[in-house]
A and B are shown apart, each in its own frame.
Chain A
């Protein structure tokens, strides 16, 4: 599981000190689908960055599936992130110069896998999200929804233990948003932990638990009725 204990995060510049997170403690079980909500500037992205080992807390402890990560080196964090975490972003963040298949392959490039195995896993991931017919296309040739499918495939191809989604439906219309949510639910059902930041109450309601943040603090946790 993911366990945060009294996590605080302060951003300091020469003139300003900002408390992005303040005494945040929460636990996320393996295979749980959690939504994180809150107004702009409440610390959602900061929380996601800490969960995704992209940023380190100023105080507190973070245990990633039993391993205390607050004392790990940069290379150890990179290895852990590579092997265990997938990301899905609001703006897709596909590489414009690579094809769909090559974009998905990027997630496997740094794991010393043979080329054949990479190709097989990429094909399987594209098939899973229903975009394999566009494997050779470039991102700018796809619609928004299709691009987000590719992003999901890229997140899944490395078989991560956790998927962190930062407003994955923010740039999509309803139909495409629903399709992406269906994929995430499906992923969660297969045992992958999913943590999703969203502004949509509708989509948050699809999660098993919703955590609300305000001014860097957890103000409520709502369990989905079984």
Chain B
């Protein structure tokens, strides 16, 4: 019996190659798309799983309430928390502090700028990474020890076993390499490649010199392990008391401590001072939904085509029933056929994923120059759980897709089908039309979502920035203003003289972050929290930030330059429009000439207490521009000029000379920027990293929306073939009665396009709601015109009509006599 079933199924598949191909290819492509998405989601959820015992390793960080009442989350906390933890929570162990800075590494003839991490000795007892050489667990026990990754060992020493090699920082001998560890995989929020202890100017070293009773804090990342048997919920429950004990009742409502398992960090909400871009759980959920929709579209195609073909198998069903086949036996036969299609489609999907995985990973690559490309793998032969889940999923989808057509065919009554040579009835046409409508609704929704996400991404990368970041290279002059490395005056002069340089400015930080915060008010007003940023006189001209009122700061006015003096002196500042508004000025011009008073003044520069400036006068108001992400509202800013604070140099490179100018800048730095190695970084790259998840959504949605369009068109094409076949007699009669080719085409095209109208009603409501919710995640959103919804419908209609028009034309042109004779 099985041989008979198999023979019928296989020959039927081969005899109707076109439709079989549509079905199998459609399912295969859909499975492949869904599989790629599932593998990526699995990868995003696998962060830190490579660390043995990761389930017991946690990070503690703090959030502080801002003046608007919201908490600003950070990935860091103070060194005091690291000291308090083991005392207050004896169930913790291996409490480790980590801090990083960019330093010159290597001897003079092989020197590069690297992100160097300082850590407590217990780091590699906490994180039991794979060692390549040396005793990794105890590699940081002695001050001046260095542990490096395999790639760093090869880069600086040409060997994996670099234990014992001399390590250089800032061209000075620092210590020796004590261990080499395996490179961290991309699915980790850790990104260290060089870890050392006891670097003189590092945050940990500073922190160790701060008396316990002092108010000063150094910000760093703090991790710890929970002892076996201890429960994290118990620790978390004691945090409120921890806060009261160490911060007092007054601050208990202003600070919050977050204790996160390291495996949860990657998908936790955005926070400042992250080492690597965060994942976005909402984006993953959206992608998962898209994957499910794609599979659903393919299943709808399968069901539609299978039920349309049911009429062609009516003779077989009738004969088998006459021969005594029960409904159950026919059901199993046709279910088996459906599953055979699914099995072939699954094999096709596996092959497609193997082929496309490298390109898919490249698509996911943020290409920001720092974040590694995701290493999504498809190792089903090594992971029985994955293989089982894939096969189980394919089986489930196969059953879902095959069940209804099998029921339709098994339910055909032999008496109704064996007498007539023509297909009996409309064979489930109502369900087919419903499914096609649903398919188009999903397609229109996907097209609309793609349009919105594309525009919001473009808006975030361009318009929302409000500053001109085009071809701007940032150089870091050093972290110690007034240090022997100097503010880089010679380098700046040399750079300015290069023909490919269009402009130069200086600032404390790049326009991507402003970590200095103060509370200020106007006399008689309330305090607002402001971010403070020292900038050069031409900063706003360079970044094309318009002046709304007043004037810019300049060298001609003495008070326009902040100076360190023993006595208090006036200083002029510029504020942004948001600061003016929050200080109580409805018009920016009203703020000009007003004075600011800080809530408290505690400012020391390199250990020297600075007297409070008096007065602090607002001389100008500039247009807002976002510091950091457009997900956050623009914050009030105060700008002033202080030459020694200018660590960052922004250099605009002319459009047609980028490679040559970059090389010339590198040469100028090598000549004048000694002794630190330096590699300028493009500001655009920073924003690409900042919006990596949005860019990812844009790319992946565009890819998978295109896949959905293709599948919908494929299914529509197959269905149109059957519709035309079923209506052969009708078309023949109409042509004999005088219908022209155009009339027949219009009839067939209308049948294909009509579902779009009904689908639009569903898609517009769902699409508008979902995309409105997505846009709420951004403080600054692209305006979405109302006509994008009908535009998406129109696009779907065009796809539908183009898909069936060629075949409809051929059918409409056929000789009606042939059609009627066949009937």
A positions within 8 Å CB-CB of B: 45, 49, 52, 54-55, 75, 78-79, 81-83, 85, 87, 89, 91, 93-99, 102-103, 105-111, 154, 158, 166
Interface CB pairs A-B, < 8 A, 19:
A54-B322, A54-B415, A78-B324, A81-B322, A82-B323, A91-B421, A94-B319, A95-B315, A95-B319, A96-B15, A97-B9, A97-B15, A102-B7, A105-B4, A106-B323, A109-B323, A109-B325, A110-B329, A111-B324
CA of A33 to CA of B421, assembled, Å: 27
| Nearest-CB residue, chain A, relative to B417 | A93
- 4 more A-B contacts (CB under 8 A) besides A55-B415, A97-B8, A109-B1? A93-B319, A93-B418, A106-B320, A109-B4
Which residues in B have their C-beta under 8 angstroms from that of A78?
321, 324, 326
Inter-subunit contact B8/A95 (CB<8 Å): yes
Q: How far is the CA of A82 from the CA of B319 in the complex (A)?
A: 11
Kindly list chain B residues whose C-beta atoms are within 8 Å of the C-beta of A55: 415
**Complex Cα gap A135–B148 (Å):** 77
Q: Chain B contacts of A95 at CB under 8 A?
A: 8, 315-316, 319
Cβ–Cβ < 8 Å partners of A49 in chain B: 415
- Asked, given contacts A82-B324, A87-B322, A106-B4, whether A97 binds B419 with beta carbons under 8 Å apart, the answer is no
Minimum-distance CB pairs A-B, first 9: A82-B324, A110-B324, A97-B11, A54-B415, A95-B316, A97-B8, A107-B323, A97-B12, A49-B415
Complex alpha-carbon distance, A158 and B322, angstroms = 12
- The B295-335 residues at the A interface (CB cut-off 8 A) are 315-316, 318-326, 329
Residues in A neighbouring B4, C-beta threshold 8 A: 98, 102, 105-106, 109
Contacts of B12 in A (CB 8 A): 97
Interface residues of B in 396-421 (CB under 8 A from A): 413-415, 418-419, 421
CB contacts (< 8 Å) of B326 on chain A: these are: 75, 78, 110
- B interface, by DSSP: helix, strand, loop or mixed? helix
**Partner-A contacts on B (CB < 8 A):** 1, 4, 7-9, 11-12, 15, 315-316, 318-326, 329, 413-415, 418-419, 421
Measured between C-beta atoms, what is the minimum distance from B313 to chain A in Å?
9
A82 vs B324: C-alpha distance when bound (angstroms): 5
**Complex Cα–Cα for A99 and B11 (A):** 10
* A54, B7: Cβ atoms closer than 8 Å: no
Q: Which of A83, A89, A102, A158 contacts B418 (CB 8 A)?
A: A89
Residues of B within 8 A of A103 (CB): 319
Interface centre among B1, B15, B322, B414 (most CB of A within 10 A): B322
A78–B329 CA distance with the chains assembled, in angstroms: 13
CB distance from A45 to the nearest CB of B (A): 6
CB-CB < 8 A to B414: which residues of A? 54
Report the Cα distance A154→B324, complex, angstroms.
Answer: 13
Contact B15 A110 (CB under 8 A): no
Asked whether, in the complex, the Cβ of B323 is within 8 Å of the Cβ of A97, the reply is: no
Interface centre among B321, B324, B414, B419 (most CB of A within 10 A): B324
Q: Which of B320, B419, B421 contacts A166 (CB 8 A)?
A: B419
B411 CB → nearest A CB, Å: 12
Of A75, A79, A96, which is in contact with the most chain B CB atoms at under 10 Å from its CB?
A96
Distance of A82 from chain B, by nearest CB (Å): 3
List chain A residues, Cβ under 8 A from B8.
95, 97-98, 102
Question: In the assembly, what is the distance between CA of A53 and CA of B319, in Å?
Answer: 14
Give the docked Cα–Cα distance between A87 and B316 (Å).
14
For the complex formed, measure the closest distance between the CB of A119 and the CB atoms of chain B, giving whole angstroms.
11
Q: How far is the CA of A100 from the CA of B11 in the complex (A)?
A: 14
Which listed residue, B11, B316, B325, touches A110 by the CB 8 Å rule? B325
- How far does the alpha carbon of A150 sit from the alpha carbon of B611 in the complex, in Å? 111
Chain A residue at minimal CB-CB distance from B11 = A97
- Distance A111 CA – B324 CA, assembled complex (angstroms): 8
When the two chains form the complex, which single residue of B1, B324, B419 contacts A45, counting CB atoms closer than 8 Å?
Answer: B419
**Could you say which residues of chain B place their CB within 8 Å of the CB of A111?**
324
B2 to A: closest C-beta gap in Å = 10
Chain A residues in 8 Å Cβ range of B15: 96-97
Inter-chain contacts of A109 with B (CB < 8 A): 1, 4, 320, 323, 325
